[in-house]
Chains A and B, each alone.
Chain A
Amino acid sequence: MTSPPGGESRRRRPVAVPIAALAAVTGLGIIAAFGGFAETPEEPPKQLGPGATLDQGEFTTKFVESRTVVEPGLFGTADKRFLEVELQVTNKGEETTGVGSPSNGKTPGVFFANSLLKMTPAIKSDFGPSVSVPGASSVPGASTPSSQLHPGMPATVVLRYQLGDRQRPPKQVSYDVGTFEYSAGGVKSLERTWFLVKDDEGVNAPPKVVAQVTLPVRQAGAL
């Protein structure tokens, strides 16, 4: 930057650099004042109760109720007691999928029930709950349970947890619920399928909790 000698040289002082520096500092100051480049805190998961409906991307799910059920034992064996959670699930996707199962210990969950991320209090068992669409039949004993969720057909999905002999059923159960997005990746890495939305970018990031659903447990009279 050699300026020609003369009176005009003083007016052509290099002011661009200081002005740019000032602007940059001001900009940084404004950004810092508004909390810097840190991510904005994500909105906390929705708190839902019985009867609430949640959009899970691939599904629309209504959390109907939770109840205890007693099955009389056969041939003098002890009664079996279950905790049931009833949901109304509509597949919004393009093809039939399964009710799947929630993750249980090291076994990863699959399909719909994989979005039930965490249950509180957890009812532990070796294989997790049985998840099905119980075919409500007008004829007792003739029902045909299903594990499919067809597109556009609302289905009643029941999760059934067997309670131990001395186990008290909880007063209420709550679930951390995730949501699905249609994206590439997975086994055939390019095929687009439904995946649980993650909390972060990383491969091992935990699934994002979009809602916490709390259902009071309706106790069967015999308990």
Chain B
Amino acid sequence: MSSVTSDAVNTASDAVAPAGPASSTRRRRRAPRQPGRARRAGVLAVGAALAVGAVLLQSAALSSEASSAHLTWTGSVGEEVSASRFSAEVKAIHVAKAVEFTPLSGKPKKAETSGVFLVAEVAATATRTPQKLAPPVLLGQDGKRYTATDKVDSSLTITNPYIQVGWWAQSVAVFEIPASALAGSRIVLAPQSGFIAEALLPEVEVDLGLDEASAQRLVANAKDVYPLASKK
């Protein structure tokens, strides 16, 4: 009991002891507080403005679609289109009901479809570093994306060769599409992305320049079989 009371007295005396200097500091602090009020309001306003600004900036952030989008260079058939890392040209397009080809090993194969095959003759060259093209995509007028078919051996298409600096690699891109997707479609060529996805990869978008009438004419005049040149 006695120790407790003495503690209480001690703490009381401790509390009392610095009372003198504390009040003096309070007085000292109080002196600059009077003009500081405006400053404090200013600081608060700046803080609030920064917070509001930070929140507003979020709305300007790229959406996931935008951040995974490509930088696109556009062109038309028969035109050399230079994207930053590579150049590409769609030289000609053919429409066929079947594609015949001979893989590196084995018997000739015949790819058939319920739709049509669009065969594009494509050439590409690199600007600085050798690279490979990702499977080309046919972008329909309605935004549908048709990846190049895997029915045709990929070693015979533009995804196979290394695109080198200094000369044009020539090959084909083959798409399997419904005949109705042909009008207004574009061929999209892009380099292969690595394991870690890069933002804003370059891509070349070639408008095939087909309206309804010319697309229908192409389908009507489609070859029964398009023979794909085998690799020499």
Q: Does the CB pair A148–B112 fall under 8 Å? A: no
Residue from the list A141, A153, A191 in contact with B176, Cβ < 8 A: A153
Q: B198 contacts the other chain (Cβ, under 8 Å)?
A: no
Contacts of A128 in B (CB 8 A): none
Known contacts A142-B107, A150-B177, A153-B178; 4 further A-B pairs (Cβ under 8 A)? A141-B107, A142-B110, A150-B178, A152-B181
Q: A167 contacts the other chain (Cβ, under 8 Å)?
A: no
Known contacts A95-B147, A150-B176, A153-B178, A137 near B110 by CB under 8 Å:
yes
Point out residues on A near B: beta carbons under 8 Å. 94-96, 135-139, 141-148, 150-155, 184, 188, 190-192
Q: Does the CB pair A139–B147 fall under 8 Å? A: no
Docked CA distance A14–B10 (Å):
55
Give, as a whole number of angstroms, the nearest-CB distance from A28 to chain B.
40
- Which chain B residues in 139-157 approach chain A with CB under 8 Å? 143-147, 149-152
Contacts of B107 in A (CB 8 A): 141-142
Known contacts A137-B110, A142-B109, A192 near B144 by CB under 8 Å:
no
Known contacts A96-B145, A142-B107, A190-B64, A147 near B150 by CB under 8 Å:
yes
Q: Does the CB pair A146–B145 fall under 8 Å? A: no
Docked CA distance A96–B176 (Å):
10
Residue from the list A95, A138, A145 in contact with B144, Cβ < 8 A: A95
- Sorted nearest first, the 10 A-B pairs with minimum C-beta distance are A190-B64, A96-B147, A95-B145, A144-B151, A144-B111, A142-B110, A151-B144, A146-B151, A191-B64, A142-B109
Contacts of A148 in B (CB 8 A): 147, 149-150, 176
Docked CA distance A94–B115 (Å):
17
Give, as a whole number of angstroms, the nearest-CB distance from B188 to chain A.
11
**Chain B binding surface SS class:** mixed
Contacts of B146 in A (CB 8 A): 95-96, 150-151
Point out residues on B near A: beta carbons under 8 Å. 63-65, 68, 107-115, 143-147, 149-152, 176-178, 181, 197
Give, as a whole number of angstroms, the nearest-CB distance from B124 to chain A.
21
Q: Does the CB pair B115–A153 fall under 8 Å? A: yes
Q: Does the CB pair B114–A135 fall under 8 Å? A: no
Give, as a whole number of angstroms, the nearest-CB distance from B102 to chain A.
10
Q: Does the CB pair A137–B112 fall under 8 Å? A: yes
Residue from the list A144, A154, A192 in contact with B109, Cβ < 8 A: A144
Q: Name which residue of chain B comes closest to A94, CB basis.
A: B144
Docked CA distance A143–B108 (Å):
9
Q: Name which residue of chain B comes closest to A151, CB basis.
A: B144
Docked CA distance A138–B115 (Å):
16
Contacts of B197 in A (CB 8 A): 188
Contacts of B143 in A (CB 8 A): 94
Docked CA distance A142–B110 (Å):
5
Listed A/B pairs (18) with beta-carbon separation below 8 Å:
A95-B147, A96-B146, A135-B111, A137-B110, A138-B110, A142-B108, A144-B109, A144-B110, A145-B151, A148-B149, A148-B150, A148-B176, A151-B144, A155-B114, A184-B64, A188-B197, A191-B65, A191-B68
Docked CA distance A191–B177 (Å):
26
Docked CA distance A176–B226 (Å):
42
Give, as a whole number of angstroms, the nearest-CB distance from A188 to chain B.
7
Give, as a whole number of angstroms, the nearest-CB distance from A184 to chain B.
8
Contacts of A192 in B (CB 8 A): 64-65
Contacts of A143 in B (CB 8 A): 109-110
Contacts of A141 in B (CB 8 A): 107
Give, as a whole number of angstroms, the nearest-CB distance from B155 to chain A.
14
Q: Does the CB pair B149–A152 fall under 8 Å? A: no
